[in-house]
C-alpha cells in the first residue's frame, strides 16, 4: 500500500506531465472506484488546465483553472503510469486515462479499486468527508511536540495505534510508524498518553526523518521508474525494523520482534525501544 512518501513521489512525478497543462482528452472506463466517480467526471476534467499539484496526507490535489480540485487517493494498489504512446490500448485495470496538450498520457491503474477520485469546488475542499477530520501534516509547521503531546494526552491506546489515527497526525501508515518509533526509541506498546515531554520531542523529528529520507529515496528513483516502466512512486527502501523479524537490530544486535497490534504487524526492538 502506498504510504505518504510514495504518494509524495507520485505527486512530484506528475508535476512535469500535468502542471500547467490542459487535460486535452480524458477517458474513464468505469463509473466507480472505491466510491462512484462524480457525475460527468471525464467531461468536467476535459479542457481544464492544471494550475498546481498539492498533497494533503495521502491525497493528491490537482487545482484546476475553473476553481475545482481534482482529488486522487491511490488506495491499496492504485498507481499512476506515464506514457507518450497514444496507440497503447487500456489494460483491464486502467480506469482513467488522461492525455495532456503536452503529449503525455497519465493512466490511473488500480487492481483492487480501493482508490478514489473526486472533483469539488476549492472552497468545499476543507469540508470534504475524507479530508475534514485529518490531523496536521507530519512534515508541516503545524506539527510539533507540543501539538502531538496534546493530541495524545489521556489516550490509553498503544502509541502505535495512536499514530495510525489520522486525526492525530495525517498520512502516517504502518511502515513509517514502526520506523519512527524505532528511531525515537519508543516501544510501540507504550500507552499513548505517556508519550509527552522528551519522548514527544524525540518522536516528532523521528517521524519527519523517516518520511524525509523515504521521499528523498523516492525522488532519486523517479527518473529510473519513468524510464523503466512509466510507473510512479514505488521504490526500494532500506528499513531499520519493518519486515526484519528475527534479523539483528542495527543498534544492539538483538533480534527484531514482530507482534500484531490492531490486526497489523508491528516490528520493533524490545531492547532499544522502551
Tell which one of 18, 74, 241, 272 touches Zn ion (CB under 5 A). Answer: 272
Q: From start to end of the chain, where are the E strands?
A: 23-28, 50-56, 59-64, 68-73, 78-83, 94-100, 105-110, 116-121, 257-261, 264-268
Cα 273 to Cα 145, 185, 198, 268, distances in angstroms? 19, 4, 14, 7
Residue 270 main-chain phi, psi, to 5 deg: -70, -20
CB of 268 to Zn ion, least distance (A): 9
- Contact call for residues 189 and 169 (beta carbons, < 8 A): no
Nearer to Zn ion, 169 or 240 (CB): 240
CB of 269 to Zn ion, least distance (A): 3
What are the residues whose beta carbons fall under 8 Å from the beta carbon of 161, sequence distance 6 or more?
A: 192, 261, 262
Nearer to Zn ion, 97 or 269 (CB): 269
Q: Quote the CA–CA distance of 197 and 51 in Å, as a whole number.
A: 42
Nearer to Zn ion, 59 or 182 (CB): 182
Tell which one of 84, 252, 262, 274 touches Zn ion (CB under 5 A). Answer: 252
Residue 58 bears catalytic tag: yes
How many residues interact with Zn ion (rule CB under 5 A)? 6
Segment near Zn ion (CB under 5 A); pick from 23-31, 111-119, 185-193, 249-257? 249-257
Q: Does 211 bind Zn ion (CB under 5 A)?
A: no
Length of the chain counted residue by residue: 274
Residue 3 bears catalytic tag: yes
Tell which one of 249, 257, 267, 268 touches Zn ion (CB under 5 A). Answer: 249
- Contact call for residues 79 and 94 (beta carbons, < 8 A): no
Q: Does 64 bind Zn ion (CB under 5 A)?
A: no
Nearer to Zn ion, 184 or 249 (CB): 249
CB of 80 to Zn ion, least distance (A): 37
Residue 102 neighbours by CB distance under 10 Å: 13
Catalytic residues: 2-3, 58, 264
Amino acid at each position: 500500500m502506498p504510504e505518504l512518501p510514495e504518494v509524495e513521489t507520485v505527486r512530484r512525478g506528475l508535476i512535469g506531465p500535468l502542471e500547467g497543462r490542459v487535460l486535452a482528452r480524458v477517458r474513464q472506463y468505469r463509473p466507480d472506484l472505491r466510491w462512484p466517480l462524480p457525475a460527468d467526471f471525464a467531461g468536467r476534467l476535459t479542457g481544464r488546465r492544471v494550475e498546481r499539484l498539492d498533497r494533503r496526507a495521502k491525497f493528491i490535489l490537482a487545482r484546476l483553472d475553473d476553481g475545482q480540485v481534482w482529488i486522487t487517493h491511490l488506495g491499496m494498489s492504485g498507481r499512476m503510469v506515464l506514457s507518450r504512446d497514444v496507440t497503447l490500448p487500456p489494460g483491464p485495470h486502467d480506469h482513467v486515462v488522461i492525455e495532456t496538450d503536452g503529449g503525455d498520457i497519465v493512466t490511473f491503474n488500480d487492481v483492487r479499486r480501493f482508490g478514489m477520485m473526486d472533483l469539488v469546488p476549492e472552497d468545499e475542499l476543507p469540508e470534504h468527508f475524507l479530508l475534514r477530520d485529518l490531523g496536521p501534516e507530519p512534515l508541516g509547521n503545524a506539527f510539533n511536540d507540543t501539538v502531538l503531546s496534546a493530541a495524545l494526552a489521556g489516550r490509553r491506546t498503544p502509541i502505535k495505534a495512536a499514530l495510525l489515527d489520522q486525526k492525530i497526525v495525517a498520512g502516517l501508515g504502518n511502515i513509517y510508524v514502526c520506523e519512527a518509533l524505532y528511531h525515537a526509541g519508543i516501544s510501540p506498546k507504550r500507552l499513548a498518553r505517556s508519550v509527552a515531554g522528551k519522548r514527544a520531542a524525540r518522536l516528532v523529528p523521528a517521524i519527519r526523518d523517516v518520511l524525509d529520507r523515504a521521499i528523498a529515496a523516492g525522488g532519486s528513483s523517479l527518473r529510473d521508474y519513468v524510464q523503466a516502466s512509466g510507473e510512479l512512486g514505488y521504490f526500494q527502501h532500506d528499513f531499520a525494523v519493518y519486515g526484519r523479524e528475527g534479523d539483528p537490530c542495527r543498534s544492539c544486535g538483538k533480534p527484531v520482534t514482530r507482534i500484531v497490534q490492531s490486526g497489523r504487524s508491528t516490528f520493533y526492538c524490545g531492547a532499544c525501544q522502551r
